[in-house]
Amino acid sequence: MIDAGGTSILLVEDDAETRHQVATLLERHGYQVAEASDAESALAKFADGRPDLILLDLGLPDRDGLDVVDRVRAAGTTPILVLSARDREVDKVLALEAGADDYLAKPFGMAELQARIGAILRRAMPAGTDSEQPGIVRIGDLELDPVSHSVRVGGRPVHLTPLEFEVLRVLAEHAGQLVTYGRLLRAVWGTAYGEEAHYVHVYVGQIRRKIRRADPDGHLANLIVPEPGVGYRVSAEIDPARG
C-alpha cells in the first residue's frame, strides 16, 4: 500500500455524482483532491497547483479530454490516468499514445482504481530506492538488471536476446501499467516502427517461453498480461515463491 500522505490528485470529471464518489474515496485514503468539471478549469487548476497525478475523464463538455492530455504533456511529465466510458480500443490507444500513463474503463471498481494509482505513483517516484543495487527491477521471482542486461527467475538465468531484454525491461519498468504496442515499438525498435504490432507479439511470445523454462512451477505464468488490440501490462503484484 502506497503512502498517500501529501499526494495531490487533480480529478477531472463532468459527472458530479461520479466525481463526488471518487473524490470522497481518494480523500478517505489520504490523497489531497482538487476537482474540475471541464477541460478549461482542469488546465487552469493544473497550471496553478501542479498535482502529482491527474485522473482524467475523456468525455468533457467543453473540449475533448485528449486535448487536456496534449496540453499537460506539453508542460511536463505529470502522470495521467484516463477514466472513460469509451471502451473502443482506438480511444485507449489514442489516449496512451498522446501521453496518458494508463487507462481505466468505466465502470471501474475502487480497488482497481487504487491499484492503478499506486502503480503510476511508484513509477513516478525517483529511482534508487534500492540503494544496494540501483536500477534492479524485482517482480515476484523475476529479477532484471538493466546494467548487466541479465534476467534471473528464482536465481536461474534466463538468456534473452538484446531485443527481448529491451521489451521485457520496458514492460517491467512500467509494472502495473498498460504499455501500448506503439510505445514499446518506439522504445525498443525506434520511431520508424510504430505500426508493427506483430513484432511485439513475436518477442513477447519468445520472452514468455524462456521465462517458463526457468519457472517450472509457473509462478510467473501471469507476469505478462495481454490487453488485446492495445498492448501489454506486466503485473506489479506477484508474490515471490516461498521456500
Catalog residues that contact Ca ion under the rule CB under 5 A.
14, 57, 59
Q: In whole angstroms, what is the distance from residue 63 CA to residue 24 CA?
A: 25
Q: In whole angstroms, what is the distance from residue 176 CA to residue 163 CA?
A: 21
Three-state secondary structure of 35-88: EECCHHHHHHHHHHHCCCEEEEECECCCCEHHHHHHHHHHHCCCCEEEEECCCC
User: Which residue, 59 or 154, is less far from Ca ion as judged by CB?
Assistant: 59
DSSP 130: S
CB of 85 to Ca ion, least distance (A): 7
User: Which residue, 62 or 237, is less far from Ca ion as judged by CB?
Assistant: 62
Q: In whole angstroms, what is the distance from residue 172 CA to residue 35 CA?
A: 32
Q: In whole angstroms, what is the distance from residue 170 CA to residue 230 CA?
A: 16
User: Which residue, 62 or 130, is less far from Ca ion as judged by CB?
Assistant: 62
Amino acid letter at 37? S
DSSP 126: P
CB of 3 to Ca ion, least distance (A): 30
Give Cα separations from 47 to 15, 57, 83, 136, 187 (angstroms): 22, 18, 21, 35, 29
CB of 29 to Ca ion, least distance (A): 23
CB of 68 to Ca ion, least distance (A): 12
CB of 112 to Ca ion, least distance (A): 18
Cell of 110: 475502487
Nearest residue to Ca ion by CB is 59
User: Which residue, 57 or 166, is less far from Ca ion as judged by CB?
Assistant: 57
CB of 106 to Ca ion, least distance (A): 9
User: Which residue, 20 or 159, is less far from Ca ion as judged by CB?
Assistant: 20
User: Which residue, 14 or 173, is less far from Ca ion as judged by CB?
Assistant: 14
Give Cα separations from 139 to 37, 151, 165 (angstroms): 38, 11, 15
